[in-house]
């Protein structure tokens, strides 16, 4: 299935998305496809209402819950901050507390599976988007 996501004002199409594909997988694929590092989130926007989708949520299932309004909902990739390697290391810079609600490491075997899947998704994005 195809998922339409707005990235910097341009609509991108992510191919191969299923009901088990997570927002985290979509975000990683899009960030790799556009060649940018950083922290990103997927936003579900309907009219003037925006909702941040959690990394473990499934965007297809989320859109299906909108029923007849699903076609009016936009998914937006939004950069929320720099990657860990881009952050300033100076102690003189005031640090902003990080959100840690969804932060956790994946087991090594799952990381490998996700990397393989993300490469396939990124390749499809590059070919179609």
- CATH code at 76? 3.10.20.90
pLDDT at 38: 84
Domain assignment present for 25: yes
Instruction: Note whether residue 16 is domain-resident.
Output: yes
Q: Tell me 22's DSSP state.
A: -
pLDDT at 90: 55
Q: Which residue has the tokens 């997570």?
A: 22
Report yes or no on 105 lying in a domain. Answer: no
Whether residue 96 is contained in a domain is answered as no
Model pTM greater than 0.75? no
Task: Report the number of distinct structural domains present in the chain.
Answer: 1
* pLDDT confidence of residue 63: 93
Q: Is 118 among the domain residues? A: yes
CB atoms within 10 A of CB 40: 22
Q: Is 106 exposed, middle or buried (0-12, 13-18, 19+ CB in 10 A)?
A: exposed
Question: Tell me, what's the pLDDT at 32?
Answer: 86
Question: How far apart, in Å, are the Cα atoms of 32 and each of 2, 49, 80, 123?
Answer: 18, 28, 16, 10
| pLDDT for the residue 104 | 41
Supply the pLDDT for residue 99: 45
Q: Note down the domain range covering 38.
A: 2-82+110-126
- Say if 48 falls within a structural domain: yes
Tens of pLDDT, residue by residue, the chain (129 residues): 889 999 988 899 888 888 999 999 999 888 888 888 888 999 999 999 999 999 999 999 999 999 999 999 999 999 888 766 655 555 545 555 544 444 444 455 555 555 666 666 666 656 665
Residue 80 has a pLDDT of 84
CA distance linking residue 117 with residue 20, whole number of Å: 12
Look up tokens 């299932």; give the residue. Answer: 61
Tokens of 68: 């007849």
CB 31 within 8 A of CB 78: no
């Amino acid at each position: 299935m195809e998922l339409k996501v707005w990235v910097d004002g341009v609509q991108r199409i992510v191919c191969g998305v299923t009901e088990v594909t997570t927002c985290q997988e979509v975000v990683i694929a899009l960030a790799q496809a556009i060649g940018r590092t950083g922290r990103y989130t997927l936003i579900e926007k309907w009219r003037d209402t925006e909702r941040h989708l959690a990394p473990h949520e499934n965007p297809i299932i989320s859109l299906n819950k909108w029923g007849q309004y699903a076609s009016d909902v936009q998914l937006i990739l939004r950069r929320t901050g720099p990657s860990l390697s881009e952050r300033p290391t100076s102690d003189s810079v005031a640090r902003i507390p990080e959100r840690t609600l969804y932060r956790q490491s994946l087991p090594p075997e799952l990381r490998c599976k996700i990397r393989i899947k993300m490469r396939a998704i990124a390749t499809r994005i590059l070919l179609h988007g």
